Amino acid sequence: MNRPLQVTVLGATGSIGLSTLDVVARHPQHYQAFALTAFSRIAELRALCQRHAPRYAVVADAEQARALQAQLLADGLQTRVLVGEGGLSEVAVHPEVDVVMAAIVGAAGLRPTLSAVQADKRVLLANKEALVMSGALFMQALRDSAAVLLPIDSEHNAIFQCLPGNYSNGLTKVGVRRILLTASGGPFRELPVERLAAVTPEQACAHPNWSMGRKISVDSASMMNKGLELIEACWLFDARPDQVEVVVHPQSVIHSMVDYIDGSVLAQLGNPDMRTPIAHALAWPERIDSGVSPLDLLQIGQLEFRAPDEQRFPCLRLARQAAEQCGTAPAMLNAANEIAVEAFLQGRIRFTEIASIIESVLERQASVAVRCLEDVLAADEQARRLAMGWLDGRGC
Ligand code: NAD
Ligand code: MG
């Protein structure tokens, strides 16, 4: 009998991490948690270790590691606790690991995700920021490796499911006219524009259809999430930005579509629950139960579609510009956004200032060509510095 596939979950305590472990636990003969990592919420990581008995746990600093190691020993577990970036990379490339779920939020996930690709793993990519930052290098590393990359973002997972197996020959060659990237429009789709400046982090994090981490929730509210996804789609499917059209679809039932030159449009539908793309990517090319309830179209009744409003959501325009500019522009966009979203969550800036900060950084920092990872990391660092300068001087 085959042994269960060994799964490392980077960002195990997050929304995607927990959904992944939920699917893994439904199939103990096929999947086993090998390593679980967390940056905070260490008590939750301990509880996950008790439930999944992984070989390794990874935390951010040595003190956390010592405390958790003592607790796990007292729990009678043999889990070894590792620390920091070194620990993340170790569990991403470990020879016994088959699958790596990349579910750390933000730029912090880039190195371990890239390491997993270079180590020929099956990489389940939720961490879109890693790909947005380093797209060209990331996709080159993928081509140079025997790794398999499967998109977890529901839209990209849907597109992947609607494309033929040989899509990497080029979208035009396989008859694709364009990709239709659906967006819910977030919690502020209908809010009068003049009230956007006064919305709170709690309102921004209350997404109408999906339950997610706080950073991606704010990104969804500003539609920067769709902007990052546009860049992600360009890299994953080798599409030009003008081949990706954003369509607002408030019900989040169609997760995206592919429009072919013969007039066929293929869509993937499902309830908005991330366990579907996670189960798809874990089992691909087979199918397994994800625990998601069947879609009840009669209950849903209507599906609506609208054009996105770039006046209301300037982040979408900024992301499209960065996608067209290429070079280090997407890394700068992402870094400025991470600083701005954190500042908004801390109550330091207004919601509408997120776009102002990003625009100011992109105006002040020139995009340059990317030759190596250091170019990306330098652009990321400079954009963070500029964004923090904006916060200190409030716009100066
Ligand atoms: P989350 O905030 O719920 O979880 C983030 C995880 O990353 C946590 O385990 C946290 O401990 C860890 N982490 C945070 N900062 C870290 C750092 N500096 N170093 C190491 N680990 C760190 O986020 P989430 O909603 O699960 O999203 C994770 C990723 O998946 C994001 O890139 C997001 O864009 C993407 N994604 C999420 C969803 C969703 O439904 N939640 C959907 C599509 C894509
Ligand atoms: Mg998505």
| Residues 6 or more apart in contact with residue 51 via CB below 8 angstroms | 21, 25
128 known ligand binder: yes
pLDDT tens, residue by residue, 202-225: 999 998 888 899 999 999 999 999
Residues 267 and 351: their CA atoms lie apart, in Å, by 33
Asked whether the bond before 164 is cis by omega within 30 degrees of 0, the reply is: no
Q: How far is CA 327 from CA 323, 324, 346, 370, 371, in A?
A: 9, 9, 31, 5, 9
Mean pLDDT of 375-385: 98
Decide whether any atom of ligand 1 lies within 6 Å of the 232 Cβ.
no
Residue nearest to atom 22 of ligand 1 (CA): 39
169 known ligand binder: no
Q: Nearest Cα to 235, choosing from 314, 312, 334?
A: 334
* Residue 13 clears pLDDT 80, i.e. is over it: yes
Strand 99-102 and strand 80-83: the pairing is unpaired
The tally of domains found in the chain comes to 2
Length of the chain: 396
Residues 301 and 158 in one domain: yes
Residues 74 and 147 in one domain: yes
264 known ligand binder: no
Residues 134 and 166: their CA atoms lie apart, in Å, by 24
Predicted local confidence at residue 396, as pLDDT? 43
- Ligand 1 midpoint to CA 14 (Å): 5
DSSP single-letter state for residue 306: B
Q: In this prediction, what percent of the chain has a pLDDT beyond 70?
A: 99
Residues 202 and 108 in one domain: no
Decide whether any atom of ligand 1 lies within 6 Å of the 338 Cβ.
no
Residue nearest to atom 21 of ligand 1 (CA): 39
Decide whether any atom of ligand 1 lies within 6 Å of the 87 Cβ.
no
| Residues 6 or more apart in contact with residue 382 via CB below 8 angstroms | 332, 365
* Residue 171 clears pLDDT 80, i.e. is over it: yes
Encoded tokens for 106? 């933000």
Predicted local confidence at residue 1, as pLDDT? 58
pLDDT band, residue 394 (cuts 50/70/90): confident
**Of the ligands numbered here, which is closest to the C-alpha atom of 275?**
1
Residues 76 and 140 in one domain: yes
- Ligand 1 midpoint to CA 81 (Å): 20
Decide whether any atom of ligand 1 lies within 6 Å of the 213 Cβ.
yes
- Ligand 1 midpoint to CA 103 (Å): 5
Mean pLDDT of 12-41: 98
* Residue 72 clears pLDDT 70, i.e. is over it: yes
pLDDT band, residue 380 (cuts 50/70/90): very high
253 by DSSP, 3-state: which? coil
- Ligand 1 midpoint to CA 232 (Å): 16
Q: Which residues of 145-178 are buried (b: 16+ CB within 10 A; e: fewer)?
A: bebebbbbbbbbbbbbbbbeeebeeebeebebbb
**Which residue, 312, 339, 356, sits at the end of a domain?**
312
Decide whether any atom of ligand 1 lies within 6 Å of the 339 Cβ.
no
Residues 275 and 262: their CA atoms lie apart, in Å, by 32
Atom of ligand 1 nearest to the CA of 219: 34
Mean pLDDT of 25-31: 98
Residues 114 and 164 in one domain: no
**Which residue, 108, 135, 151, sits at the end of a domain?**
151
Cβ burial, residue 321 (10 Å; 0-12/13-18/19+): middle
Angle (nearest 5°) at CA 59 between 57 and 62: 115
Residues 165 and 112 in one domain: no
- 127 located within any domain: yes
Residues 56 and 199 in one domain: no
Mean pLDDT of 241-268: 98
The CATH number of residue 37's host domain is 3.40.50.720
Atom of ligand 1 nearest to the CA of 19: 26
Residues 69 and 176 in one domain: no
15 known ligand binder: yes
Residues 226 and 252 in one domain: yes
- Ligand 1 midpoint to CA 106 (Å): 7
Residues 78 and 185 in one domain: no
Residues 160 and 245 in one domain: yes
Residue nearest to atom 18 of ligand 1 (CA): 108
Mean pLDDT of 65-73: 98
- Ligand 2 midpoint to CA 154 (Å): 5
Give residue 18's domain range.
5-151
Mutate to test the pocket of ligand 1, among 20, 104, 125, 226 (most ligand atoms within 8 A of CB): 104
Decide whether any atom of ligand 1 lies within 6 Å of the 108 Cβ.
yes
Mean pLDDT for the chain overall = 97
Mean pLDDT of 43-60: 98
Predicted local confidence at residue 395, as pLDDT? 55
- 373 located within any domain: no
Residue 265: beta bridge partners? 259
Q: Where are the beta strands (DSSP E) in the chain?
A: 5-10, 31-37, 56-59, 80-83, 99-102, 122-125, 148-151, 176-183, 244-248, 254-260, 265-269
pLDDT tens, residue by residue, 225-241: 999 999 999 999 999 99
- Ligand 2 midpoint to CA 272 (Å): 10
Residue nearest to atom 5 of ligand 1 (CA): 14
Q: Does this model's pTM top 0.80?
A: yes
Strand 176-183 and strand 148-151: the pairing is unpaired
Residues 332 and 387: their CA atoms lie apart, in Å, by 10
> How many other CB atoms are found less than 10 A from the CB of residue 22?
16
**Which residue, 151, 185, 219, sits at the end of a domain?**
151
Q: Nearest Cα to 132, choosing from 310, 339, 337?
A: 337
pLDDT tens, residue by residue, 112-166: 999 999 999 999 999 999 999 999 999 999 999 999 999 999 999 999 999 999 9
> Phi first, then psi: what are they for 44, rounded to 5°?
-70, -35
Decide whether any atom of ligand 1 lies within 6 Å of the 216 Cβ.
yes
ipTM of the complex, rounded to two decimals: 0.99
| Residues 6 or more apart in contact with residue 5 via CB below 8 angstroms | 30, 31, 32, 98, 99, 282
Residues 172 and 289 in one domain: yes
